[in-house]
Structure 1
Amino acid sequence: MTQMNSNSAPSGVKYAEDWLPIKSINNGMILTDDGYYVTGVKVSPKNIFILDEQSQNATLFNLSTFYNTLDFDFWLLVSDRPVDISLYLNELQVEYNKNPNSAIRKLIMQDINKANLFMSRDYNVVDTEYTFLFKEKKMELVQKKLHTLISGLSNAGLNSTQTSNADLRILLDNYLNDGISTNFRAVM
């Protein structure tokens, strides 16, 4: 039976990793009970459809070239997360309140109404995240693969960063708990 990870959660709260063969999640890597490091990179999305056709084709060609250079197994995870535009809405409200020009206030109010509409359940606006994950036992190979992924994605015109501890926990929650962080507590 897998031993519970006592370092991962506050007292009385269990994370998904506590129920899996995971020793720890540190430095953006999952260390499994069998000695593998699971890590990867999170890719910032890029809307290529706003680019001209030549730029679209170049991006797709570069991405295809990148995929064909990878000589190791990886998982490409795609997950949707609700968009939080509350900060943007607050900024619009501040601008609306401080602007004396009625025409500009009207435009700002239209933006506020549109943003509120996007936040409604009818539209279900989400932010799509892409994550490449791989597993490896040797730390030097982990670093080499991270470098390969980040530089290859950069050459394809995409920004990426190594997964953080929070990213990995969110991925576990997304795939094991349908995106819901679960806190088990005693019923009073």
Structure 2
Amino acid sequence: MNLKELIFGAGVKDSGANVGVYRDSTQAWLPIKNIMGGVVITKDNRFIKILEVLPVNIYLKPAADRQNIIASFAAYLKIGPDDLQFEVRTLPSDTSEYVERMKQYAEKEENENCREMIEDNIQEIGLGIAQDTIRHRFFLIFQYEARMKAKRNTVKGIIQRLNEEADTARRYLDVCELEVLEPRYSDNYTLELLYSIINKHTSRRVQLPEGVFDMTTTVHGIYEEE
């Protein structure tokens, strides 16, 4: 069983069957069947696109620029997908690796004064500042809708159509001075994002290997043929 199967389960074309997964396992309840072309495919055959947006502080802009940003964003909402979700992930700053490294230094340090300084640093950086420091990630999420009218209504056509919608979002949001990330390997990026959401704590300690999708194969016949 490869890494992709371990995360999503060994799915089959019949989305209603949990063939290839263990009972009561994560794969059994996880609604994700596959990732193709940067698009998440769910077990109930929905196609979902997730875009990460880098925000801008509109209140630091001149009044005229703020009006232009608002007008451009309103224009995008008029032509964008009918159902849009804006999600914000609030995450604590991760200083665990730094704290662990400093603890190792403290254990090896023979000078008592230096050891006390290291312990003070751990207390200040690892326990004090980190508690008050957070970071945010912003996401724009939409799914394939019938009105998008993919060519021949095939899987590849739907994925292509969703990526066209993503390009449209990038163009409009660029006018709003918002950058939409365009990862080089969209499948890897989406897998890592879902992995970090599902495994909040484990993902901080255990990173997926680079090029994870290059090391796996299609999950047991899901959409191998059109």
> Do both proteins adopt the same fold according to a TM-score greater than 0.5, normalized to the shorter chain?
yes
Within the candidate set 162, 166, 170, 2:196 is matched to: 170
Give the equivalent residue in structure 2 for 1:38: 48
What CA deviation, in whole Å up to 9, does each residue of 1:45-75 have, x standing for no partner? 2122222222223222222222222143222
- Which residue is equivalent to 1:156? 176
Higher helix share: 2
Deviant stretches of 4+, over 6 Å:
none
Post-superposition shift, 1:81?
Answer: 1.6
Identity of aligned residues (%): 17
C-alpha displacement at 1:161, in angstroms?
2.0
Equivalence map 1:74-89=2 (5 Å): 74-84=84-94
User: Which residue number in structure 1 is paired with residue 135 of structure 2?
Assistant: 127
**TM-score of the pair, normalised by structure 1:** 0.59
Alignment RMSD, CA only?
Answer: 3.8
Distance 1:15 1:40, change over 3 A: farther
Structure 2 unaligned regions, length at least 5: 9-23, 97-123, 145-154, 183-188, 204-226
- 1:27 Cα deviation from its structure 2 partner: 4.3
- The 8 Å contact of residues 52 and 137 in structure 2, kept in 1 or not, is answered as yes
Q: Which has the higher contact order (CA 8 A, sep 6+)?
A: 1
For residues 84 and 28 of structure 1, the distance between their equivalents in structure 2, rounded to whole angstroms, comes to 27
Q: Deviations over 1:4-53 (max 9, x none)?
A: x73428xxxx9966522321235432221233222221100212222222
1:28–1:168: 8 Å Cα contact kept in structure 2?
no
CA distance in 1, matches of 2:25, 2:44: 20
3-state SS of the aligned residue for 1:164? helix
- Cα gap change, 1:167 to 1:15, in 2 (>3 Å): farther
Count of residues paired in the alignment: 145
CA distance in 2, matches of 1:17, 1:26: 18
**Residue 180 (structure 1) shift:** 4.4
